[in-house]
Chain A
């Protein structure tokens, strides 16, 4: 089986030749290439080359076009801060007060250089692999993006006390999210990873989610012209799974703080799952620990398809050692067939 066949088989709840391994590499590519993270993302050729290299080296069954979350803030006029040994972060919020939401415009994809770089990356990857390896695009959910647009504290205040502004911002973010997702699909992305950690019960209560994050996801995902995976960035999802299924997403991503076997049972074939290696612990794992972690997940949730094995946050941290990734890859071959 090639990677695409393997992933599609697993998603159709059948047993593939081995459990698909979805190592989501973003800024890790800079480490592989030996250049700074800022330089790495400045040129799509760097990303394309590193993605192809890592796909082969670590036997990962997908290519990942994500660079960093703050990219979307750049589209709204914000800035990004780069570090030498960790993921880029958003700089100051773009909205200084809620009134500014009235003036906020939906960014034009064509006018934002960093979004264009991602689209060029996707089309370059597509040229390389055609339909043999899934290419994953990424969007921040309309409901999660405001943490960067406003700052977390102000966003929580807005949710609680200024619901009118909240709804206005959601309208803008929904439009942007749909456009951005569909631009990536048109460029050649196979599926879109919808990052929505604010919907996790770790961040807002399931009752509040129902009238906000859930309704927004349902509406947004319906307009995305390709399959989606809903990612909670290692936030837990057990309590809201029934709602997540209703959003018609294909995959839910499971936190390493959750029992993946239990989540698989709840999903019962209605949703595939992605997870749930602990990326933070992974930074200091031994090879034996890596193998054990892989084996545990496969034992708990690997039967009869439905599982994509991955790190639980949606990107491999910079500090994870090469030998650990190699032992994850060989453990999947050993235990996942």
Chain B
């Protein structure tokens, strides 16, 4: 059953994916079970991408379809974004937004609410915004190397303000240099967007 849903996602077949869910679940009653299934499947898709078995286009389409399906089944989730969450995601000093978009869809589809800070180019502005919003876990996505190393400046801003926060980084520079996240003083890195789900769940338990 899970395999069929996954296959539909990897084929970018929204209709098949949706009709599979509506046949297998009572859509109005089993919201939680559906979120769990989606979260499971997306985690698998994330690790398939990490292994190089599937392409970015597939991971992107899967995340989009899942987000759309959930917005349809659980419309109340749609406006939840801005409500009571202490998790935020941002693209730092970079003009490339796709990484953030995919990670955000993965999290939302797994029932994790997250504030989207968009693109912010100054480490100071980012730190200020995070503090104002009482953020406890900050996800930073970058594509360019010169942007990735600026995470260190973000950390310094938080330190100066004595603000305790966890930083999770991701994006290509961190994949090509597996030690870069430590160099920039992040708390963790994720390779695939599904890592964000795992790491945030872990942090929540701490």
Q: Could you tell me the dominant secondary structure of chain A's interface residues?
A: loop
- What count of chain B residues pass the 8 Å CB interface test? 27
Chain B residues whose C-beta falls within 8 Å of the C-beta of A236 in the assembled complex: 52
Q: B173 within 8 Å of A by Cβ?
A: yes
Chain B residues whose C-beta falls within 8 Å of the C-beta of A90 in the assembled complex: 95
Most A Cβ at <10 Å: residue of B12, B55, B172: B55
Q: B147 within 8 Å of A by Cβ?
A: yes
A91, B94: Cα distance in complex, Å: 11
A281 and B12 contacting across the interface, CB-CB below 8 Å? no
A256, B180: Cα distance in complex, Å: 16
Interface residues of A in 285-324 (CB under 8 A from B): 317-319
B57 and A203 contacting across the interface, CB-CB below 8 Å? yes
Q: A202 within 8 Å of B by Cβ?
A: yes
A70: nearest chain-B partner, CB-CB: B95
Interface string of B81-115 (1 = CB under 8 A from A): 00000000000001111100100000000000000
Question: Contacts A156-B61, A280-B145: A203 and B98 contacting too (C-beta < 8 A)?
Answer: no
Q: A87 within 8 Å of B by Cβ?
A: yes
A160: nearest chain-B partner, CB-CB: B12
B57 and A280 contacting across the interface, CB-CB below 8 Å? no
Most A Cβ at <10 Å: residue of B94, B145, B149, B177: B145
Interface string of A163-189 (1 = CB under 8 A from B): 000000000000000000000000000
A91, B61: Cα distance in complex, Å: 24
Question: Contacts A153-B101, A236-B52, A278-B176: A160 and B61 contacting too (C-beta < 8 A)?
Answer: yes
B61 and A280 contacting across the interface, CB-CB below 8 Å? no
Question: Contacts A236-B52, A281-B177: A153 and B146 contacting too (C-beta < 8 A)?
Answer: no
Q: Which 10 A-B pairs have the closest CB atoms?
A: A86-B146, A280-B176, A152-B98, A205-B55, A280-B177, A281-B177, A203-B56, A85-B146, A204-B57, A204-B55
18 A-B pairs besides A89-B94, A208-B55, A284-B183 with CB distance below 8 A are: A83-B146, A85-B146, A87-B144, A89-B95, A151-B97, A152-B96, A152-B97, A160-B12, A203-B57, A204-B56, A204-B57, A205-B55, A256-B176, A278-B177, A280-B176, A281-B176, A281-B177, A283-B177
